[in-house]
Chain A
Amino acid sequence: MSADRPEARDPLAAPAALSAPVTLPEALAGAEPVESVCTPIRMAYTYTPGRALSRYLRAMADKRILGERCGATGQVFVPPRGVSPLAGAATSEVVELADTGYVESFNITRVPIERRPDLKPPYCSAWIVLDGASVGFLGLVINLAPEEVRIGMRVRAVWKPDEELETSAANILGWEPTGEPDEVITDYERIGRIEASDP
């Protein structure tokens, strides 16, 4: 194949055709250069969440939270995606989870974000591990000053009023403290990790 290659040349040198100076026609001599263009792109999709997420969203309308168990490792994932990233296999069982859990980590946001005018800073986003789940999922800690949120704090879901429930994760308005003693996290190495356990 080497016979087909053109002669080697300085790879950093511009091709001759591109190194010639560009001259504008007289009529454009005084024209201001265009420094930016706006070309809006919008595409519409009818998104379908798939089997696992459809089940999860339907259960949400009944104020139930569904996870799915990995048959190989016993881990329970929520929200479920129909697959276990540990085993690389389809999950084997749908598991109904409590709407209580604990704060695994959190942050406090002090600046507003454009698309959520309903969120008034400061507010607390938390990674919440539901009772019975192996991984955390995202929620807001509410009905409490953000400064009082701490790792290990026990929380329960605050649902929308029954007449407003939809097939949506937005049915959970946030998570409020239960007042129970904190989850005792003795092994901080464990936080944020997914480890295999015996099923």
Chain B
Amino acid sequence: MIDVAVVAFTQRQEAAISGESEVEFMVPLMEQAKASVGLTQSDMGFTCSGSSDFLAGQAFSFVMTIDGTGPVPPISESHVEQDGAWALYEAWVKIQCGGIDTAFVYGYGKSSPGSLRDVLATQMDPYYVCPLWPDSYAVEALAARLMLEGGHVSERRLAEIAARSRASAASNPHAVRSEPKSVDEILAEEHVLDPLRPSDLPAEADGGCAVVLAAGDRARELCERPAWIRGMDHRGDAHTLGVRDLTSSMSARLAAQHAGVADDKVDLAELYGPFTTSEHLLIEALGLDEDGTAINPSGGALAAHTMMASGLIRIGEAASRIWRGDGDRAVAHATSGPCLQQNLVCVLEGD
């Protein structure tokens, strides 16, 4: 196994970026990420991105953003129609294949041009479910009801998760929901999708992020304290909600096992839980101890939810804390699909 580390990270998240196209707001982020470790695009052995045509509302939308990497003459490049965390996984595999020691990864999404809750309905089964246009937040509320009625979680616990996210987000300049609220204030909110309250829902954002990966000695040259990827795995649950147990996340549990989360203490965890219910399930599935592990020090996706980037942002947030010495061992998680259908877990360590 070749040692690979996250050595650079930039992000931008705002409630709505309406005046700039995707490539216009991504180019500065991409340039800053590379420049922060003294690299340019020509130094990159491989480039991989994650985005979605369904958000952009146009076919092959990612091709426009590739212009920002200078693809003429052609470069070694790939794209996933998933969160950028899966693009990072592909880049990591590419480095494992040998021959390159750097990779550039980015993910971005603008949800504001459309209705995210409707757009996400189209990821459901096209014959039986999508024609019913299930609001994606309402689908999560179904899972929340199961969890609450089955005694897997309490409304107070969900409110505590929401309050923690708000408190942590106060020091995150990229958060779009960071006004502090007490647990009681959150419990006093009216339900919007009973049993979910506004604070249980993700704070929708537009934006993106960029990451540089480097292997072995190259990583040590570029970064004083590289965030080494010690384990990474991704798993998927069934597509059909009816065959799943929505009160736990089997795929997240498996991914955590194979990534080696439990092999040592975890100083901090950046979890992509779009809802308070998902964060609760993830803490359980990853076997995290909330007393010993700082959960979502950035505020997580509850504080800023940028589709197609929030997972890669979790990896970047975790890595930057390793660079800064805020922790020695971190877990980053990404999800995709309804009710935590797919999960990626990445374990990062400093030397």
| Contact surface of A with B, Cβ cutoff 8 Å | 1, 37, 39, 41, 43-54, 81-90, 194
Complex CA distance for A1 and B259, rounded to whole angstroms: 10
Q: Chain B residues with Cβ under 8 A from A52's Cβ?
A: 21, 24
Q: Chain B residues with Cβ under 8 A from A84's Cβ?
A: 67, 70
Task: Report yes or no: B114 in contact with A82, Cβ–Cβ below 8 A.
Answer: no
Complex CA distance for A41 and B66, rounded to whole angstroms: 28
Task: Report yes or no: A83 in contact with B23, Cβ–Cβ below 8 A.
Answer: yes
Q: Which 3 A-B pairs have the closest CB atoms?
A: A88-B70, A50-B21, A45-B57
30 sample A-B contacts, Cβ–Cβ < 8 Å, listed by A number: A1-B258, A37-B127, A37-B131, A39-B131, A41-B130, A43-B114, A43-B115, A44-B114, A45-B57, A45-B113, A45-B114, A48-B21, A50-B19, A50-B21, A52-B21, A81-B21, A81-B23, A82-B27, A83-B23, A83-B68, A84-B67, A85-B66, A85-B67, A85-B72, A86-B70, A87-B70, A88-B68, A89-B70, A90-B27, A194-B72
User: Residue B24 contacts which of A44, A46, A51 (CB distance < 8 angstroms)?
Assistant: A51
Additional 18 contacts, C-beta under 8 A, given A49-B21, A50-B20, A88-B67? A43-B57, A43-B118, A43-B122, A44-B115, A48-B19, A50-B21, A51-B20, A51-B24, A54-B19, A85-B71, A85-B72, A86-B72, A88-B27, A88-B41, A88-B69, A89-B31, A90-B24, A90-B28
Nearest chain-A residue to B132 (Cβ)?
Answer: A39
Interface size class of B (residues with CB under 8 A): 20 to 34
Task: Report yes or no: B19 in contact with A47, Cβ–Cβ below 8 A.
Answer: no
| Contact surface of B with A, Cβ cutoff 8 Å | 18-24, 27-28, 30-31, 41, 54, 57, 64, 66-72, 113-115, 118-119, 122, 126-127, 130-131, 258
Residue among B21, B122, B131 with the highest chain A CB neighbour number at 10 A:
B21
By secondary structure, the B interface counts as: helix
Nearest chain-B residue to A54 (Cβ)?
Answer: B19
Task: Report yes or no: B18 in contact with A48, Cβ–Cβ below 8 A.
Answer: yes
Task: Report yes or no: A82 in contact with B130, Cβ–Cβ below 8 A.
Answer: no
Q: Chain B residues with Cβ under 8 A from A81's Cβ?
A: 21, 23-24, 64, 67
Nearest chain-B residue to A70 (Cβ)?
Answer: B70
The distance from the CB of B206 to the nearest CB of chain A, in whole angstroms, is: 10
Complex CA distance for A181 and B46, rounded to whole angstroms: 47
Complex CA distance for A141 and B131, rounded to whole angstroms: 43
Nearest chain-A residue to B40 (Cβ)?
Answer: A88
The distance from the CB of A196 to the nearest CB of chain B, in whole angstroms, is: 9
User: Residue A48 contacts which of B68, B113, B119, B131 (CB distance < 8 angstroms)?
Assistant: B113
